[in-house]
Chains A and B, each alone.
Chain A
Amino acid sequence: MKPLKALLVATLVGASALAVAVPLKTDPAKSSVSAVFKQMNVPVEAPFRSFTANIDYDAAKPAASKATVEINTASFDIGDPMYNKEVAKKDWFNSAQFPKASFVSTGIAPAGAGKLNVSGKLTMKGKTANVTFPLAVKAEGGKQVFEGQLPIKRLAFNIGEGEWKDTSMVADEVVIKFRVTAAP
């Protein structure tokens, strides 16, 4: 009996190792990326309707994980088609020239149970900055859910030019919130 059990365990371990070697498949219906900005101190959370997220994650070897997120800046939905058109213009995202914002991880380190510290490069409107943020990972119905928040300063990426550089109207601090659900 003992050799059989050992074989079984070996097979299972081998299978799971194989499974994690393949990048996870993102479930767009259960994933979201949004930004919370403050307008005259009014917090507004607005979603990016179109983005792709690619995550390689191995629970056994979290340090080997990789993540890439690409966001269509013109898909930022602040609640009204007329406003959305404005936000895609030159002063804000300039989506004609910079259609995509991206995040590419450079290092992922375990930080306790269900937690990772992610560092990477965030590129928006042609500007790239190194960012670090905590990421929570949990299993939910056979899928992995990655959730986190990344506070940024919009002016560091030239988002809001001209009169909009005045942060008394729209605050410099913006929090990018995301939740990515992915399955092997």
Chain B
Amino acid sequence: MRRYTMPAIVLHWLIAIAIIGTFTLGLVMTDIQGISMAKIRYTNWHKWAGVTVLALAALRLLWRLFNHPPQYADAMPAWQRGAAYGLHILLYVLMFAVPLSGYFFSLAAGYPVVYFSEIPLPVLIGPDPELRDVLRGVHYWLNMLLAGLVALHVLAAFKHLLVDRDGVMQRMLPIPTPKEKR
């Protein structure tokens, strides 16, 4: 079975790590009450990480527009192909929607994003308390949706690995399994 190209594999795993890290930081920082050094630090790290996810997602979308992913296993039923296709579209949409909702939430709250404390990113909207309250909810629920879909994605991958044993998950693993090498 063909594997994904190396750029696609590298981007997939970088984004996976970045999303899990950013999500975790988001939970930790919002759990801190009041204002503390740690809260400010984590909040800024969270924003930088989110912007990084956005940039990597853009690269990944470019790759996807110019490359076809490798074939699924022949035995995979049509409904599973359809479900996988739909889930991947949603994951792509959320890779953009989640960081963008957070970015605009930050701007609406009156806090621009300065990437790594060095590069001021565009201030596209000014402070707006009403929009801020809306975006807080939007950012939160998009994240919960993303968490649910990532869980589904991981479960499906392991089903292919352990139940179907059809090589679908191996297409995206960084290192070919010994069996594949022959």
Contacts and interface: CB of A to CB of B under 8 A. Distances in A.
Classify chain B's interface size. 10 to 19
> What does DSSP make chain A's interface, helix, strand, loop or mixed?
mixed
Nearest to B116: A41
B109 A41 contact: no
A2 B175 CA distance: 102
Nearest to A170: B40
Interface of A: 39-46, 78-80, 82-83, 85-87, 163-164, 166, 169-170
B169 to A, nearest CB: 40
Given A82-B34, A86-B34, A86-B35, A40 B110 contact: no
B109 A80 contact: yes
Interface string B100-127: 0000000001111110011000000001
Secondary structure at the B interface, as helix, strand, loop or mixed, is loop
B132 interface: yes
A163 B117 contact: no
A40 B44 contact: yes
Interface in B28-47: 33-35, 37, 40-41, 44
Contacts of A170: 40
Contact of A40 (B34, B41, B129): B41
Contacts of A86: 34-35
